[in-house]
């Protein structure tokens, strides 16, 4: 049983396994794409390596399908739940970093209008996507994802307003 450090990626995998139950890496990929991936992207390769990493420390258990493709299936263990809970319970004063490429360019003197011309449609499209997700969300979705989505919507609105003002 190895000691490993738990990263945000680890908690995403643990959290999704808790929400969705036993899953394959590809299943996790689908889950990420439709939810947390909007504000925290992961490479698909990580969804193969991270569960394996978590397994070496006992946070998840790997099984394989018997017949056919013998795909890997991962399930969260009791220890995994405990780690996830500890993380969720601990408070953070850590602040978000606005690591936005466009903002960095703006900072270093890029033409605001040119940036805005690209950012406005991209942000509008993203906002529309969020609103569509919100309006078609099944009733059984827990509050966490709803609230995170709400933050996403607000952020997009703020970004659009900002770039529109810059564009004049």
Binding region for its own copies (CB under 8 A): 8, 11-12, 15, 18-19, 35-36, 39-41, 84, 87-89, 91-112, 114-115, 117-119, 121-123, 126, 142-145, 147-148, 150-152, 154-155, 158-159, 161-162, 166
5 binds, among DNA, its own copies, none (CB under 5 to 8 A by kind): DNA
> 107: which residues sit within 8 A by CB, 6+ positions away?
none
> 167: which residues sit within 8 A by CB, 6+ positions away?
112, 113, 116, 117, 120
Restricted to residues 63-102, the positions that interact with DNA (CB under 7 A) are 68-72
- How distant, in Å, are the alpha carbons of 6, 47, 64, 92, 163 from that of 54? 8, 11, 16, 23, 41
Check residue 37 and report its DSSP letter: G
Q: Which residue in 39, 44, 82, 158 binds DNA (CB under 7 A)?
A: 44
23 binds, among its own copies, DNA, none (CB under 5 to 8 A by kind): none
117 binds, among DNA, its own copies, none (CB under 5 to 8 A by kind): its own copies
> 134: which residues sit within 8 A by CB, 6+ positions away?
146, 149, 150, 153
| Binding positions for DNA, rule: CB under 7 A | 4-5, 7-9, 24-27, 30, 41-46, 48-50, 52-53, 68-72
């Amino acid at each position: 049983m190895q000691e490993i450090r738990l990263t945000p990626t680890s908690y995403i995998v643990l959290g999704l396994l808790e929400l969705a139950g036993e899953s394959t890496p590809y299943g996790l990929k689908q889950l990420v794409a439709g939810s947390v991936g909007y504000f925290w992207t992961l490479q698909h390769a990580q969804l193969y390596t991270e569960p394996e990493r978590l397994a070496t420390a006992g946070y998840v258990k790997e099984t394989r399908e018997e017949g056919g493709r013998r795909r890997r299936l991962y399930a969260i263990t009791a220890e995994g739940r405990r780690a996830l809970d500890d993380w969720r319970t601990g408070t953070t004063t850590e602040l978000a970093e606005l690591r936005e490429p466009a903002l960095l360019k703006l900072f270093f003197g890029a033409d605001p209008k040119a940036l805005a011309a690209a950012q406005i449609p991209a942000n509008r499209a993203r906002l529309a996507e969020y609103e569509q997700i919100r309006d078609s969300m099944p009733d059984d979705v827990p509050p966490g994802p709803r609230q995170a989505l709400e933050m996403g919507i607000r952020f997009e609105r703020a970004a659009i307003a900002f770039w529109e003002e810059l564009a004049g």
